[in-house]
Chains A and B, each alone.
Chain A
Amino acid sequence: MKCAELNRLLSPYIDGELDLQSALAVEAHLQECPRCSAAIAGVQTLRTAISRACEPAKAPLRLREAVQAQFAAAPQQATSRSLGFCLAATPGIAALLIVGWLALAQPWNAQSSAGTAQGTRIVYHLAGGNHVKANLRTLKNHLDAEPNLQVVVVAHSDGINFLLQGAQDTEGQPYIGALRELRARGVEFRVCTNTLTRQQIDTRAVVPEAVLVPSGIAEISRLQKKEGYTYLRL
Protein backbone atom coordinates (compact mmCIF):
# COMPACT_ATOMS: atom_id res chain seq x y z
CA MET A 1 0.00 0.00 0.00
CA LYS A 2 1.19 3.48 -0.86
CA CYS A 3 0.90 6.55 1.37
CA ALA A 4 -1.64 8.11 -1.00
CA GLU A 5 -3.88 5.06 -0.71
CA LEU A 6 -3.55 5.08 3.06
CA ASN A 7 -4.45 8.73 3.10
CA ARG A 8 -7.72 7.83 1.38
CA LEU A 9 -8.47 5.05 3.87
CA LEU A 10 -7.36 6.95 6.96
CA SER A 11 -10.79 8.25 7.99
CA PRO A 12 -12.70 5.01 7.42
CA TYR A 13 -9.94 3.13 9.26
CA ILE A 14 -10.22 5.39 12.29
CA ASP A 15 -14.02 5.19 12.18
CA GLY A 16 -13.98 1.39 12.03
CA GLU A 17 -15.66 1.41 8.62
CA LEU A 18 -13.10 -0.64 6.67
CA ASP A 19 -13.50 -4.26 5.75
CA LEU A 20 -11.09 -6.65 7.38
CA GLN A 21 -8.70 -6.95 4.45
CA SER A 22 -8.27 -3.22 3.95
CA ALA A 23 -7.88 -2.65 7.69
CA LEU A 24 -5.11 -5.27 7.79
CA ALA A 25 -3.36 -3.57 4.89
CA VAL A 26 -3.60 -0.22 6.67
CA GLU A 27 -2.12 -1.67 9.86
CA ALA A 28 0.73 -3.24 7.93
CA HIS A 29 1.53 0.09 6.29
CA LEU A 30 1.38 1.92 9.62
CA GLN A 31 3.93 -0.47 11.10
CA GLU A 32 6.55 0.82 8.71
CA CYS A 33 5.47 4.39 7.93
CA PRO A 34 5.99 7.00 10.65
CA ARG A 35 4.50 9.70 8.44
CA CYS A 36 1.15 7.96 8.10
CA SER A 37 1.21 6.98 11.79
CA ALA A 38 1.60 10.66 12.60
CA ALA A 39 -1.32 11.47 10.30
CA ILE A 40 -3.49 8.98 12.20
CA ALA A 41 -2.41 10.52 15.50
CA GLY A 42 -3.30 13.95 14.10
CA VAL A 43 -6.86 12.91 13.24
CA GLN A 44 -7.21 11.21 16.61
CA THR A 45 -6.14 14.40 18.35
CA LEU A 46 -8.68 16.33 16.32
CA ARG A 47 -11.43 13.89 17.32
CA THR A 48 -10.49 14.27 20.97
CA ALA A 49 -10.48 18.06 20.63
CA ILE A 50 -13.95 18.01 19.02
CA SER A 51 -15.50 15.74 21.63
CA ARG A 52 -13.97 17.86 24.39
CA ALA A 53 -15.25 21.09 22.85
CA CYS A 54 -18.69 19.90 21.73
CA GLU A 55 -20.59 18.31 24.56
CA PRO A 56 -23.95 17.06 23.30
CA ALA A 57 -26.76 19.43 24.24
CA LYS A 58 -29.90 18.26 25.95
CA ALA A 59 -33.26 19.43 24.61
CA PRO A 60 -34.79 22.05 26.92
CA LEU A 61 -37.85 20.91 28.84
CA ARG A 62 -40.10 23.47 27.11
CA LEU A 63 -39.13 22.01 23.74
CA ARG A 64 -39.88 18.49 24.93
CA GLU A 65 -43.30 19.59 26.15
CA ALA A 66 -44.02 21.57 23.01
CA VAL A 67 -43.12 18.62 20.79
CA GLN A 68 -45.32 16.24 22.72
CA ALA A 69 -48.28 18.61 22.73
CA GLN A 70 -47.80 19.28 19.04
CA PHE A 71 -47.89 15.78 17.64
CA ALA A 72 -50.71 14.81 19.95
CA ALA A 73 -52.84 17.49 18.30
CA ALA A 74 -51.69 17.29 14.68
CA PRO A 75 -53.55 15.17 12.14
CA GLN A 76 -51.58 12.77 10.00
CA GLN A 77 -51.70 13.10 6.22
CA ALA A 78 -52.03 10.32 3.76
CA THR A 79 -49.97 12.01 1.04
CA SER A 80 -46.65 11.34 2.70
CA ARG A 81 -44.58 9.95 -0.13
CA SER A 82 -44.77 13.00 -2.35
CA LEU A 83 -42.45 15.03 -0.13
CA GLY A 84 -38.76 14.99 -0.80
CA PHE A 85 -37.46 15.31 2.71
CA CYS A 86 -39.24 12.19 3.84
CA LEU A 87 -37.34 9.05 3.04
CA ALA A 88 -39.21 5.81 2.78
CA ALA A 89 -37.49 2.52 3.46
CA THR A 90 -33.82 3.32 3.00
CA PRO A 91 -32.26 0.82 0.59
CA GLY A 92 -28.94 0.84 2.40
CA ILE A 93 -30.41 -0.04 5.75
CA ALA A 94 -32.68 -2.66 4.29
CA ALA A 95 -29.66 -4.25 2.61
CA LEU A 96 -27.79 -4.25 5.91
CA LEU A 97 -30.66 -6.00 7.63
CA ILE A 98 -30.75 -8.68 4.97
CA VAL A 99 -26.99 -9.20 5.16
CA GLY A 100 -27.27 -9.45 8.94
CA TRP A 101 -30.04 -12.00 8.64
CA LEU A 102 -28.11 -14.10 6.14
CA ALA A 103 -25.03 -13.95 8.33
CA LEU A 104 -27.02 -15.13 11.30
CA ALA A 105 -28.67 -17.90 9.35
CA GLN A 106 -25.31 -19.21 8.22
CA PRO A 107 -24.03 -20.83 11.46
CA TRP A 108 -27.13 -22.99 11.68
CA ASN A 109 -26.44 -24.38 8.22
CA ALA A 110 -22.80 -24.85 9.13
CA GLN A 111 -23.73 -26.76 12.23
CA SER A 112 -26.22 -29.05 10.58
CA SER A 113 -23.71 -30.04 7.93
CA ALA A 114 -20.51 -30.12 10.00
CA GLY A 115 -22.01 -30.86 13.43
CA THR A 116 -18.75 -30.72 15.38
CA ALA A 117 -18.87 -31.77 19.02
CA GLN A 118 -17.32 -28.55 20.28
CA GLY A 119 -19.84 -26.34 18.48
CA THR A 120 -19.41 -23.74 15.80
CA ARG A 121 -16.76 -21.10 16.36
CA ILE A 122 -17.77 -17.56 15.60
CA VAL A 123 -15.69 -14.41 15.76
CA TYR A 124 -17.82 -11.31 15.88
CA HIS A 125 -16.14 -8.15 14.59
CA LEU A 126 -17.29 -5.03 16.41
CA ALA A 127 -15.98 -1.67 15.18
CA GLY A 128 -18.82 0.79 15.76
CA GLY A 129 -20.06 2.40 18.96
CA ASN A 130 -23.74 2.50 17.96
CA HIS A 131 -26.44 -0.12 18.42
CA VAL A 132 -24.46 -1.83 21.18
CA LYS A 133 -27.63 -2.92 22.96
CA ALA A 134 -29.02 -4.46 19.80
CA ASN A 135 -25.69 -6.18 19.15
CA LEU A 136 -25.61 -7.71 22.63
CA ARG A 137 -29.18 -8.89 22.05
CA THR A 138 -28.08 -10.45 18.75
CA LEU A 139 -25.36 -12.35 20.58
CA LYS A 140 -27.80 -13.56 23.20
CA ASN A 141 -30.30 -14.70 20.56
CA HIS A 142 -27.55 -16.48 18.70
CA LEU A 143 -26.53 -18.35 21.86
CA ASP A 144 -30.14 -19.19 22.65
CA ALA A 145 -30.52 -20.69 19.20
CA GLU A 146 -27.23 -22.55 19.39
CA PRO A 147 -26.04 -23.14 22.97
CA ASN A 148 -22.84 -24.95 21.91
CA LEU A 149 -21.61 -21.90 20.06
CA GLN A 150 -18.11 -20.66 20.84
CA VAL A 151 -18.13 -16.90 20.48
CA VAL A 152 -15.27 -14.42 20.55
CA VAL A 153 -16.10 -10.73 20.17
CA VAL A 154 -13.17 -8.68 18.90
CA ALA A 155 -13.65 -4.95 19.43
CA HIS A 156 -11.66 -2.08 17.98
CA SER A 157 -12.18 1.60 17.07
CA ASP A 158 -15.40 2.89 18.65
CA GLY A 159 -16.46 -0.72 19.21
CA ILE A 160 -14.40 -0.83 22.40
CA ASN A 161 -16.39 1.87 24.19
CA PHE A 162 -18.90 -0.41 25.86
CA LEU A 163 -16.03 -2.47 27.30
CA LEU A 164 -14.69 0.47 29.30
CA GLN A 165 -15.37 0.86 33.03
CA GLY A 166 -18.66 2.56 33.77
CA ALA A 167 -19.94 2.41 30.16
CA GLN A 168 -23.68 3.02 29.77
CA ASP A 169 -26.22 2.80 26.99
CA THR A 170 -28.11 5.83 25.67
CA GLU A 171 -30.68 5.45 28.46
CA GLY A 172 -28.01 5.47 31.17
CA GLN A 173 -28.15 1.74 31.82
CA PRO A 174 -24.72 0.16 32.52
CA TYR A 175 -23.58 -2.51 30.07
CA ILE A 176 -21.79 -4.53 32.69
CA GLY A 177 -24.81 -6.72 33.59
CA ALA A 178 -25.37 -7.92 30.03
CA LEU A 179 -21.62 -8.31 29.63
CA ARG A 180 -21.27 -10.58 32.67
CA GLU A 181 -24.25 -12.63 31.57
CA LEU A 182 -22.62 -13.26 28.18
CA ARG A 183 -19.27 -14.01 29.85
CA ALA A 184 -21.02 -16.59 32.03
CA ARG A 185 -22.26 -18.24 28.84
CA GLY A 186 -18.71 -18.49 27.50
CA VAL A 187 -18.55 -15.43 25.24
CA GLU A 188 -15.06 -13.90 25.19
CA PHE A 189 -14.43 -10.20 24.65
CA ARG A 190 -11.10 -9.09 23.21
CA VAL A 191 -10.06 -5.46 23.02
CA CYS A 192 -7.62 -3.95 20.51
CA THR A 193 -4.62 -2.39 22.28
CA ASN A 194 -3.77 -0.39 19.15
CA THR A 195 -7.09 1.41 19.54
CA LEU A 196 -6.42 2.12 23.23
CA THR A 197 -3.01 3.56 22.40
CA ARG A 198 -4.36 5.73 19.59
CA GLN A 199 -7.23 7.05 21.67
CA GLN A 200 -4.92 7.49 24.67
CA ILE A 201 -7.03 5.25 26.88
CA ASP A 202 -5.35 3.60 29.85
CA THR A 203 -5.48 -0.20 29.68
CA ARG A 204 -6.85 -0.18 33.22
CA ALA A 205 -10.02 1.51 31.94
CA VAL A 206 -11.01 -1.77 30.24
CA VAL A 207 -13.39 -3.93 32.28
CA PRO A 208 -11.81 -7.12 33.73
CA GLU A 209 -14.38 -9.19 31.79
CA ALA A 210 -12.47 -8.37 28.58
CA VAL A 211 -8.91 -9.27 27.62
CA LEU A 212 -6.44 -7.23 25.60
CA VAL A 213 -4.96 -8.28 22.27
CA PRO A 214 -2.23 -6.32 20.45
CA SER A 215 -4.29 -5.68 17.31
CA GLY A 216 -8.01 -6.37 16.92
CA ILE A 217 -7.75 -6.74 13.17
CA ALA A 218 -4.83 -9.16 13.38
CA GLU A 219 -6.68 -11.15 16.06
CA ILE A 220 -9.72 -11.59 13.82
CA SER A 221 -7.52 -12.73 10.99
CA ARG A 222 -5.64 -15.16 13.27
CA LEU A 223 -8.85 -16.70 14.65
CA GLN A 224 -10.12 -17.26 11.12
CA LYS A 225 -6.94 -18.70 9.69
CA LYS A 226 -5.47 -20.59 12.63
CA GLU A 227 -8.46 -21.61 14.73
CA GLY A 228 -11.17 -22.10 12.13
CA TYR A 229 -13.51 -19.36 13.31
CA THR A 230 -16.30 -18.10 11.10
CA TYR A 231 -16.31 -14.33 10.66
CA LEU A 232 -19.41 -12.26 11.33
CA ARG A 233 -19.65 -8.50 11.52
CA LEU A 234 -21.78 -6.93 14.25
Chain B
Amino acid sequence: MHDDWERERFERLMLPHLDAAYNLARWLAKNDGLAEDAVQEAYLRAWRFFGSLRGDNARPWLLRIVRNACYELRQREHLPGPAEDFDEQRHDAEMLAAGAVITLPVNPEAAVIARAESEMVRQCLGALPRDFHEVLVLREIEGCSYQEIADIVGTPIGTVMSRLSRARRLLQGLIAERVRPRETGT
Protein backbone atom coordinates (compact mmCIF):
# COMPACT_ATOMS: atom_id res chain seq x y z
CA MET B 1 0.00 0.00 0.00
CA HIS B 2 2.68 2.43 1.02
CA ASP B 3 6.08 2.79 -0.51
CA ASP B 4 9.56 3.16 0.92
CA TRP B 5 9.24 6.91 0.78
CA GLU B 6 6.38 6.86 3.25
CA ARG B 7 8.30 4.52 5.55
CA GLU B 8 11.35 6.75 5.36
CA ARG B 9 9.19 9.76 6.26
CA PHE B 10 7.67 7.91 9.20
CA GLU B 11 11.11 6.97 10.52
CA ARG B 12 12.37 10.51 10.10
CA LEU B 13 9.39 12.10 11.88
CA MET B 14 8.58 9.48 14.53
CA LEU B 15 11.72 7.67 15.62
CA PRO B 16 13.44 10.78 17.08
CA HIS B 17 10.59 10.92 19.61
CA LEU B 18 10.96 7.35 20.83
CA ASP B 19 12.73 8.36 24.05
CA ALA B 20 10.09 11.01 24.77
CA ALA B 21 7.36 8.47 24.05
CA TYR B 22 8.90 5.87 26.37
CA ASN B 23 9.52 8.42 29.09
CA LEU B 24 5.91 9.61 29.01
CA ALA B 25 4.66 6.02 28.95
CA ARG B 26 6.69 5.12 32.04
CA TRP B 27 5.00 7.92 33.94
CA LEU B 28 1.49 7.34 32.69
CA ALA B 29 1.52 3.53 32.69
CA LYS B 30 3.40 3.49 36.02
CA ASN B 31 4.99 0.18 35.14
CA ASP B 32 8.04 -0.32 32.92
CA GLY B 33 6.77 -3.42 31.15
CA LEU B 34 3.39 -1.87 30.46
CA ALA B 35 5.16 1.27 29.24
CA GLU B 36 7.04 -0.71 26.61
CA ASP B 37 3.83 -2.38 25.46
CA ALA B 38 2.09 0.98 25.27
CA VAL B 39 4.87 2.51 23.18
CA GLN B 40 4.83 -0.43 20.78
CA GLU B 41 1.07 -0.18 20.51
CA ALA B 42 1.30 3.58 19.99
CA TYR B 43 3.85 3.30 17.19
CA LEU B 44 1.72 0.68 15.52
CA ARG B 45 -1.27 3.02 15.61
CA ALA B 46 0.85 5.98 14.55
CA TRP B 47 2.08 4.02 11.54
CA ARG B 48 -1.44 2.95 10.62
CA PHE B 49 -2.85 6.44 10.86
CA PHE B 50 0.20 8.29 9.69
CA GLY B 51 -1.85 9.75 6.87
CA SER B 52 -3.81 11.90 9.32
CA LEU B 53 -0.69 13.71 10.56
CA ARG B 54 -0.58 17.23 9.16
CA GLY B 55 2.37 19.58 9.19
CA ASP B 56 5.40 18.92 11.35
CA ASN B 57 3.67 18.65 14.73
CA ALA B 58 4.83 15.05 14.97
CA ARG B 59 5.82 15.08 18.64
CA PRO B 60 2.50 16.14 20.24
CA TRP B 61 0.65 13.97 17.74
CA LEU B 62 2.65 10.91 18.77
CA LEU B 63 2.52 11.73 22.49
CA ARG B 64 -1.25 11.96 22.34
CA ILE B 65 -1.41 8.46 20.89
CA VAL B 66 1.04 7.23 23.55
CA ARG B 67 -1.05 8.80 26.33
CA ASN B 68 -4.24 7.15 25.17
CA ALA B 69 -2.52 3.79 24.68
CA CYS B 70 -1.21 3.94 28.26
CA TYR B 71 -4.63 4.58 29.76
CA GLU B 72 -6.23 1.90 27.61
CA LEU B 73 -3.62 -0.68 28.59
CA ARG B 74 -3.96 0.15 32.27
CA GLN B 75 -7.69 -0.25 31.99
CA ARG B 76 -7.31 -3.51 30.10
CA GLU B 77 -5.04 -4.82 32.86
CA HIS B 78 -7.54 -3.63 35.49
CA LEU B 79 -4.87 -1.63 37.23
CA PRO B 80 -6.12 0.98 39.68
CA GLY B 81 -6.12 4.56 38.47
CA PRO B 82 -3.88 7.18 40.09
CA ALA B 83 -6.83 8.72 41.94
CA GLU B 84 -7.27 5.49 43.90
CA ASP B 85 -3.60 5.44 44.86
CA PHE B 86 -4.17 8.94 46.09
CA ASP B 87 -7.13 7.89 48.21
CA GLU B 88 -4.93 5.58 50.19
CA GLN B 89 -3.03 8.61 51.34
CA ARG B 90 -6.15 9.60 53.32
CA HIS B 91 -7.00 12.41 50.95
CA ASP B 92 -10.52 13.36 50.15
CA ALA B 93 -10.94 12.40 46.52
CA GLU B 94 -13.88 14.72 46.13
CA MET B 95 -11.84 17.72 47.10
CA LEU B 96 -9.20 16.79 44.55
CA ALA B 97 -11.51 16.18 41.61
CA ALA B 98 -10.91 18.48 38.68
CA GLY B 99 -12.87 21.68 39.07
CA ALA B 100 -13.04 21.53 42.86
CA VAL B 101 -11.75 24.47 44.81
CA ILE B 102 -8.54 23.64 46.57
CA THR B 103 -7.37 25.67 49.49
CA LEU B 104 -3.73 25.05 50.11
CA PRO B 105 -1.19 27.56 51.34
CA VAL B 106 0.14 29.72 48.48
CA ASN B 107 3.69 29.35 49.66
CA PRO B 108 4.27 25.93 51.18
CA GLU B 109 7.82 26.41 52.38
CA ALA B 110 10.26 26.28 49.51
CA ALA B 111 12.98 25.24 51.92
CA VAL B 112 11.12 22.05 52.87
CA ILE B 113 10.69 21.08 49.22
CA ALA B 114 14.32 21.82 48.46
CA ARG B 115 15.28 19.17 51.04
CA ALA B 116 12.91 16.50 49.73
CA GLU B 117 14.56 13.31 48.53
CA SER B 118 14.21 12.43 44.87
CA GLU B 119 12.42 9.16 45.55
CA MET B 120 9.82 10.99 47.59
CA VAL B 121 9.34 13.63 44.89
CA ARG B 122 8.75 10.86 42.35
CA GLN B 123 6.27 9.10 44.64
CA CYS B 124 4.32 12.28 45.31
CA LEU B 125 4.22 13.15 41.62
CA GLY B 126 2.97 9.65 40.88
CA ALA B 127 0.27 9.97 43.55
CA LEU B 128 -1.42 12.99 41.96
CA PRO B 129 -4.85 12.43 40.39
CA ARG B 130 -4.57 11.70 36.67
CA ASP B 131 -5.69 15.10 35.35
CA PHE B 132 -3.04 16.88 37.39
CA HIS B 133 -0.37 14.22 37.06
CA GLU B 134 -0.35 14.18 33.28
CA VAL B 135 -0.10 17.95 32.76
CA LEU B 136 2.76 18.18 35.22
CA VAL B 137 4.66 15.31 33.58
CA LEU B 138 4.13 16.81 30.12
CA ARG B 139 5.26 20.24 31.24
CA GLU B 140 8.14 19.48 33.59
CA ILE B 141 9.54 16.24 32.26
CA GLU B 142 8.63 16.34 28.57
CA GLY B 143 9.06 20.11 28.29
CA CYS B 144 5.82 20.64 26.32
CA SER B 145 4.30 24.07 25.72
CA TYR B 146 0.74 24.78 26.93
CA GLN B 147 -0.54 24.46 23.37
CA GLU B 148 1.14 21.09 22.97
CA ILE B 149 -0.28 19.88 26.30
CA ALA B 150 -3.73 21.07 25.23
CA ASP B 151 -3.38 19.07 22.00
CA ILE B 152 -2.09 15.95 23.75
CA VAL B 153 -4.63 15.91 26.57
CA GLY B 154 -7.48 17.24 24.43
CA THR B 155 -8.53 20.19 26.59
CA PRO B 156 -8.66 23.95 26.02
CA ILE B 157 -5.45 25.82 26.82
CA GLY B 158 -7.15 27.63 29.73
CA THR B 159 -7.81 24.27 31.38
CA VAL B 160 -4.15 23.34 30.96
CA MET B 161 -3.21 26.57 32.70
CA SER B 162 -5.47 26.08 35.70
CA ARG B 163 -4.71 22.37 36.03
CA LEU B 164 -1.01 23.04 35.98
CA SER B 165 -1.28 25.69 38.68
CA ARG B 166 -3.36 23.38 40.81
CA ALA B 167 -1.06 20.42 40.15
CA ARG B 168 1.92 22.39 41.38
CA ARG B 169 0.13 23.51 44.51
CA LEU B 170 -1.05 19.96 45.21
CA LEU B 171 2.43 18.57 44.75
CA GLN B 172 3.96 21.24 46.98
CA GLY B 173 1.43 20.37 49.64
CA LEU B 174 2.01 16.62 49.33
CA ILE B 175 5.78 16.90 49.55
CA ALA B 176 5.69 19.37 52.44
CA GLU B 177 3.26 17.10 54.28
CA ARG B 178 5.56 14.10 53.96
CA VAL B 179 8.80 15.89 54.75
CA ARG B 180 7.63 17.71 57.86
CA PRO B 181 6.27 14.96 60.16
CA ARG B 182 9.40 12.91 59.57
CA GLU B 183 11.61 15.80 60.54
CA THR B 184 9.76 16.56 63.74
CA GLY B 185 9.72 12.84 64.56
CA THR B 186 13.48 12.45 64.53
Contacts and interface: CB of A to CB of B under 8 A. Distances in A.
A45 B144 contact: no
A85 B45 contact: yes
B86 interface: no
The B interface, classified by DSSP as helix, strand, loop or mixed, is helix
Contact of A67 (B18, B106, B108): B18
B5 interface: no
A92 B141 contact: no
Given A54-B140, A67-B18, A45 B52 contact: no
Contacts of B1: 75-76
A203 B1 CA distance: 56
Nearest to A7: B106
Nearest to A75: B1
The A contact surface, by secondary structure, is helix
A129 B161 CA distance: 18
Given A57-B26, A67-B18, A89-B54, A11 B165 contact: yes
A195 B107 CA distance: 19
B39 A67 contact: yes
**Most chain B CB neighbours (cut-off 10 Å) among A39, A68, A78, A96:** A39
B18 A17 contact: no
B106 A35 contact: yes
Q: Which of A56, A59, A66 has the most CB of B within 10 A?
A: A59
A51 interface: yes
Contacts of B51: 76, 78, 80
A43 B172 CA distance: 8
Contacts of B19: 56-59
A44 B113 CA distance: 10
A210 B116 CA distance: 34
A184 interface: no
Contacts of B186: none
Interface centre among A7, A10, A53 (most CB of B within 10 A): A53
Interface of A: 7-8, 10-12, 15, 17, 35, 38-39, 41-54, 56-60, 63-64, 66-68, 70-72, 74-78, 80-81, 83, 85-90, 92-94, 96-97, 128-130, 158, 170-171
12 contacts: A10-B165, A35-B106, A42-B113, A51-B140, A56-B20, A70-B43, A74-B44, A76-B47, A90-B57, A90-B60, A94-B55, A129-B143
Given A41-B110, A50-B171, 11 more contacts: A8-B165, A11-B168, A42-B109, A43-B172, A50-B136, A53-B118, A54-B125, A64-B18, A66-B36, A90-B60, A170-B16
Interface of B: 1-2, 6-7, 10-11, 15-16, 18-23, 26, 36, 39-40, 43-52, 54-55, 57, 60-61, 64-65, 68-69, 106-111, 113-114, 116, 118-119, 121-122, 125, 136, 139-141, 143-148, 150-151, 154, 157, 161-162, 164-165, 168, 171-172, 175
